[in-house]
Amino acid sequence: MKKVMLGIDTSNYRTSLCLVGEDGEIVAEAKRLLKVKEGKRGLQQSEAVFQHVMNLPELSDQLRMDEWEVVGICASEKPRPVDQSYMPVFKVGEGLAKSLSVFLKVPYYLTTHQEMHIASGEYTAEERPQADEFLAVHLSGGTSEILTCKRHEHGYYIEKIGGTIDLHAGQLVDRIGVALGMQFPAGPYLEELAKQGSGEEFRVPSSVNGLTFSFSGPEAQLLRAIAQGKVPHSEIARATEQCIANTLEKALRNAVEAGVGKEILIVGGVAANQYIRERLIKRLEHPAVRAKLYFCELAYTGDNAYGVAMLGWMQHKTRTLKSMG
């Protein structure tokens, strides 16, 4: 039987399981978005934890784990690889990993949600950053950070060097989307609506200071436009995308000009937006800037367990080599 690593990620948005071979091949995968009531902009941790507990047995059954040789289990234990990073939802996945480790008599490994996104980006992008040190931008409903990343045998050394001082990019999308009557999470719906907008009729300015930025001002202007009812919804959707793209462009240009790095990996749910991708490539890979952008495969921009499993393999290989030597 093929040897596989089981990855587990239990985030604010999705329950995810993934079985991955040592060669990076996904042999089985099961994931499910958490349910949010219409008109709501997210879930309380207690409700998200409950949904994970209810989702995991059914999703586990879909993996047909008896068809593979599970050599290890890896779970996201917290949001970021920093002290005091904690969120109850991740304890569900961590607990399952530790229990399965006992039952299956295999080792368990722990990583973080942020490292998962970076690994998913690296292993699914058309090409990876060439250097072991590179910039990463993590854009989601719970994170909007500019990071320096350095690969190591267990994952990444990560340092936050910039990002939002208030709302996250995904929060802006979701809040505007819900205000426009869309289902949460609103990203795909807002992107589809924005295609009908020209982008010329209505705009909101970006707010950038060096490597930090703010989305609270743009949110207020966008919500005001919705309330006034004079701007077509498609133009509001496009203005939301434009604001995020312009904000990131300015902050990343500042990073490049400061000599922080020119290889930039962009990950997280917001990175799935095609308009934002194309805008950043056009502006930042321009000869005047000369950055090189790398994007995660669209299916793995959102929360997933593939990156967790790959990080598990990295730890497992290191452990195996040490036991041999």
Q: What is the pLDDT of residue 154?
A: 86
Against a cut of 0.75, is the pTM above it? yes
Q: What is the pLDDT of residue 325?
A: 63
Q: Tell me how far apart the alpha carbons of residues 252 and 283 are, in angstroms, rounded to a whole number.
A: 10
What is the fold, at CATH topology level, of the domain defined by 130-295?
A: Nucleotidyltransferase; domain 5 (3.30.420)
Q: What is the mean pLDDT of the chain?
A: 96
pLDDT interval class at 320 (50, 70, 90): confident
Q: Tell me how far apart the alpha carbons of residues 314 and 316 are, in angstroms, rounded to a whole number.
A: 5
245-283: pLDDT as tens digits: 999 999 999 999 999 999 999 999 999 999 999 999 999
Q: For the residues 94-104, what does the mean pLDDT come to?
A: 98
Asked whether the domain spanning 130-295 has the same topology as the one spanning 3-119+302-324, the reply is yes
Q: Tell me how far apart the alpha carbons of residues 142 and 132 are, in angstroms, rounded to a whole number.
A: 26
Buried b vs exposed e over 173-199: b needs ≥16 C-beta within 10 Å?
Answer: bbbbbbbbebebbbbbbbbebbeebee
Tell me what percent of the residues of the chain surpass a pLDDT of 70: 100
Residue 101: is its pLDDT beyond 80? yes
Neighbours of 268 (CB within 10 A): 28
181-193: pLDDT as tens digits: 999 999 999 999 9
225-246: pLDDT as tens digits: 999 999 999 999 999 999 999 9
Q: CA nearest 135: which of 270, 299, 253, 279?
A: 253
Q: What is the pLDDT of residue 81?
A: 93
Q: What is the pLDDT of residue 41?
A: 87
Domain positions in the chain are 3-119+302-324, 130-295
Q: What is the pLDDT of residue 267?
A: 98
3-119+302-324 has CATH 3.40.980.10 classification:
no
Q: What is the pLDDT of residue 129?
A: 97
pLDDT interval class at 292 (50, 70, 90): very high
Q: What is the pLDDT of residue 11?
A: 97
Q: Is the peptide bond before 232 cis (omega within 30 degrees of 0)?
A: no
Q: What is the pLDDT of residue 68?
A: 96
